[in-house]
Amino acid sequence: MKLKCGFEWHVQLDTNKLFCSCPSLLIDKDKDIEIKRRFKASLGESGKADITASFEEGKARDVIYEAPVEASCLVEADEEPPHEINKEALKIALEMSNALNCKIFDEIIFMRKVIIDGSNTSGFQRTALIAIDGSFKVKDKNIGIATINLEEDSARRLGSNLNVAKFKLDRLGIPLVEIATELIETDEEELKEIAEEFGRFTRLFKVKRGIGTIRQDVNLSIEGGSRVELKGFQDIRHMDRVIVNEAERQKSLLKLINDRGYLSQNLNSINNKGLNQILSSTKSELIIRGIKSDKLVLGIGFKNFKGIFGYKLCEGKRFGSEVSDYLKALFGAGIIHSDELPAYGISLDDVRKVKEELNLGEDDAFLITIIKKEEKERAIDSILNRIRSLLASVPTEVRAVNEDNTSSFLRPIGGKDRMYIETDLPIVEVEKDLLKEAEKFKGFSTESLKSKYGLNDDTLNLLIKAKKLDLALKLNLELKLDFNTIKKVLVEDLTYVRHKLSLDLDENAAIDILKQIADGTITKEASAPILERMALNEFKSADEAIKKVNLRKLYKDELKKEILPIIKSGKLNENDIIISLKQKVGPRFDYNEAISVIQTLNGKKGNN
Ligand SMILES: [Zn+2]
């Protein structure tokens, strides 16, 4: 299917928080401190309130924060201004910007983006534009990178109902790099490939790993449709399914608008009635519960609307669901529509009574919703506005991805009205050294790494998985060691020791060993036995271990002295000689060096 899509990736960095020195850790234990707040929409720089903010304000609920002391302080609680920006996070953002061939700004200005769903204690998210205009290559396709922002992650949502939203402050303030692509002309298969390739790319940097550490939003429009932002892909393996469903939903809606969009004129004269009386003897538990809790069972009739609410948009979604999801987001109550009845305990007889009450005929339809009495007018307005906008065009909105690969209305798309300048932070002038340092990452990618360093996929993946790629690159540069040796000692040997002894050994021990290998003091085969003994605390340093255990690499002369008697004993085959040598001196020789000595000795012998 032909699509126009854009990605927005949010990547958590593996550093401390962006504006304080708290560690970026998620804490899973009971609350220490609880903070209660309530939010109001404030005007943006343009003098207008943001549509999203106004929407959230309409919900008027309390927000409760759990504040674990291990991973939050007064900054997260918004009781103290932000501290100076985390330089390490900025450095990583600059590295990524360079790797994505972007134009980088040398001044960074933090803005406040109004968000009052409670996910930020301050009522805004701090975000700064770092770079623009880059590119990212997937196979032979160039993906345009529009913007790169450095921003703070939001608080972790623990749950919410109509009256209270609950969050934890541990995630708030974790540095995020937000990368937004230009619109890409693509299809659902390729879209998935791009997402996967981008995932591999980010792991070349110091970023967090695991579920929730890269979050991606996809905005999508089909021809004639509108921009819809899909948020919260849990699993990119099903991304293609979600995209296809959304494209289908937009297509079907466009068809409906074309065929029956004129019906929106009927919305000017709708009939509504309280149904508490006439449905007082229904078998529907849902309605009885509503009546008992003194709510209004509201019926709204729609002339000539038969079939509209039951109209299928995509697998699992009907026109009615679109109205229902919208109302749920606003009031916590969904709708029941006549196209799906009888159901939910509502009988044919109930349907007949409702139709009579609302004065409806064969071609008409009705909705039932159960709300607080005082919400009646607002609910009717919301329902009518929703139907009107659905019958006019595909509504531009943010939709949450559901587990069944469909999506539901989440909120309107925020605009520029939600941005204003962060006055608690100075303009950050990026230091020349930092810019220069990050420039080394120009064109950095898995492909460039492989070709530049002769790395194969296995070694690269292993180093990435073990989060040792930075270190390996550094050691390769400083020690002039090949990646196979580095990978063996830094990843394989450390893992071997950890599994064998169930002891964790500091990576400094491995670095120590690599230095000795680079100096020619030991061979890489000697690394595991030395690391083992260091893990057992027998020795404090590689140096001490090498001296005491006698694992020093043999000099060429010594190697000759060991090999000569083996040859004299009648062994001429190189492999046989190596096996005997190993039995005699263990890992104290380099294979290639030994072969060269054997060949020289054999040659000499031949000459004699
Ligand atoms: Zn903090």
Name, in order, each residue with C-beta under 8 angstroms of 36's C-beta and a sequence gap of 6 or more. 62, 63, 64, 65
User: Is the same domain home to 566 and 539?
Assistant: no
Distance 124 CA to ligand 1 centre (A): 16
Distance 210 CA to ligand 1 centre (A): 22
Residue pair 218/7 in contact (Cβ under 8 Å)? The answer is yes
Name, in order, each residue with C-beta under 8 angstroms of 155's C-beta and a sequence gap of 6 or more. 65, 76, 118, 119, 120, 121, 167, 168, 169, 171, 172
Distance 423 CA to ligand 1 centre (A): 19
pLDDT value of position 160:
80
User: Is the same domain home to 324 and 299?
Assistant: yes
Distance 91 CA to ligand 1 centre (A): 20
Task: Identify the band that residue 16 occupies on the pLDDT scale cut at 50, 70 and 90.
Answer: very high
**Cα angle 199, 205, 210; round to 5:** 50
Asked whether residue 191 is domain-assigned, the answer is: yes
User: Is the same domain home to 526 and 567?
Assistant: no
Asked whether residue 216 is domain-assigned, the answer is: yes
Distance 175 CA to ligand 1 centre (A): 12
Peptide bond before residue 565 is cis, with ω within 30 degrees of 0: no
- DSSP letter at 396 equals P
Distance 67 CA to ligand 1 centre (A): 10
Comparing 73-77, 83-87, 405-409, 500-504, the range with the smallest average pLDDT is 500-504
Distance 79 CA to ligand 1 centre (A): 11
User: Is the same domain home to 541 and 561?
Assistant: no
For the residues 99-120, what does the mean pLDDT come to?
92
Task: Identify the band that residue 408 occupies on the pLDDT scale cut at 50, 70 and 90.
Answer: very high
Distance 165 CA to ligand 1 centre (A): 21
Q: Is the pLDDT of residue 150 over 70?
A: yes
Distance 557 CA to ligand 1 centre (A): 61
User: Is the same domain home to 311 and 349?
Assistant: yes
The rounded distance, in Å, linking the Cα atoms of 577 and 585 is 12
**pLDDT tens figures, 281-328:** 999 999 999 999 999 999 999 999 999 999 999 999 999 999 999 999
Distance 154 CA to ligand 1 centre (A): 13
pLDDT value of position 608:
37
Q: Is the pLDDT of residue 571 over 60?
A: yes
Distance 68 CA to ligand 1 centre (A): 10
Task: Identify the band that residue 506 occupies on the pLDDT scale cut at 50, 70 and 90.
Answer: confident
Distance 207 CA to ligand 1 centre (A): 19
The rounded distance, in Å, linking the Cα atoms of 172 and 211 is 16
User: Is the same domain home to 302 and 356?
Assistant: yes
For the residues 15-24, what does the mean pLDDT come to?
97
List phi, psi (to 5°) of 129. Answer: -75, 125
Asked whether residue 422 is domain-assigned, the answer is: no
Distance 21 CA to ligand 1 centre (A): 6
Name the percent of the chain lying above pLDDT 90.
Answer: 60
User: Is the same domain home to 290 and 385?
Assistant: yes
For the residues 512-537, what does the mean pLDDT come to?
89
Q: Is the pLDDT of residue 115 over 70?
A: yes
User: Is the same domain home to 13 and 43?
Assistant: yes
User: Is the same domain home to 270 and 389?
Assistant: yes
pLDDT value of position 166:
93
Distance 86 CA to ligand 1 centre (A): 12
Q: Is the pLDDT of residue 223 over 50?
A: yes
For the residues 212-223, what does the mean pLDDT come to?
89
User: Is the same domain home to 219 and 269?
Assistant: no
Distance 38 CA to ligand 1 centre (A): 21
Domain end among 362, 394, 426: 394
Distance 153 CA to ligand 1 centre (A): 12
User: Is the same domain home to 161 and 95?
Assistant: yes
Q: Which domain range does residue 476 map to?
A: 445-549
Q: Is the pLDDT of residue 47 over 80?
A: no
Residue pair 503/525 in contact (Cβ under 8 Å)? The answer is no
Asked whether residue 439 is domain-assigned, the answer is: no
**pLDDT tens figures, 459-495:** 888 888 888 888 898 899 899 999 999 999 999 999 9
Asked whether residue 255 is domain-assigned, the answer is: no
Domain end among 227, 249, 281: 227
pLDDT value of position 604:
57
Distance 26 CA to ligand 1 centre (A): 13
The rounded distance, in Å, linking the Cα atoms of 215 and 11 is 7
Distance 7 CA to ligand 1 centre (A): 30
Distance 156 CA to ligand 1 centre (A): 15
Name the percent of the chain lying above pLDDT 70.
Answer: 96
Residue pair 163/153 in contact (Cβ under 8 Å)? The answer is no
Asked whether residue 287 is domain-assigned, the answer is: yes
Task: Identify the band that residue 114 occupies on the pLDDT scale cut at 50, 70 and 90.
Answer: confident
Distance 199 CA to ligand 1 centre (A): 28
Distance 305 CA to ligand 1 centre (A): 55
Taking CB atoms within 8 Å and a gap of at least 24, the contacts of 197-200 are 197/138, 198/7, 198/9, 198/136, 198/138, 199/236, 200/446, 200/464
Distance 77 CA to ligand 1 centre (A): 8
Name, in order, each residue with C-beta under 8 angstroms of 516's C-beta and a sequence gap of 6 or more. 522, 542, 543, 546
**pLDDT tens figures, 273-290:** 999 999 999 999 999 999
pLDDT value of position 53:
67
Task: Identify the band that residue 329 occupies on the pLDDT scale cut at 50, 70 and 90.
Answer: confident
Local structure of 200: helix, strand or coil: helix
For the residues 572-588, what does the mean pLDDT come to?
89
Residue pair 341/283 in contact (Cβ under 8 Å)? The answer is no
Distance 30 CA to ligand 1 centre (A): 18
User: Is the same domain home to 518 and 564?
Assistant: no
List phi, psi (to 5°) of 161. Answer: -130, -165
Domain count, the chain: 4
* CA proximity to 387, closest of 300, 297, 322: 322
Q: Identify the CATH number of the domain in which residue 305 sits.
A: 3.30.1360.30
Domain end among 511, 528, 549: 549
Report the DSSP pairing between strands 397-401 and 228-231. Answer: parallel
Name, in order, each residue with C-beta under 8 angstroms of 543's C-beta and a sequence gap of 6 or more. 512, 516
Report H helices in 262-362. Answer: 285-292, 319-331, 348-357
**pLDDT tens figures, 168-211:** 999 999 999 999 999 999 988 898 899 989 988 998 899 998 88
Distance 216 CA to ligand 1 centre (A): 25
Q: Is the pLDDT of residue 606 over 50?
A: no
Asked whether residue 430 is domain-assigned, the answer is: no
Asked whether residue 285 is domain-assigned, the answer is: yes
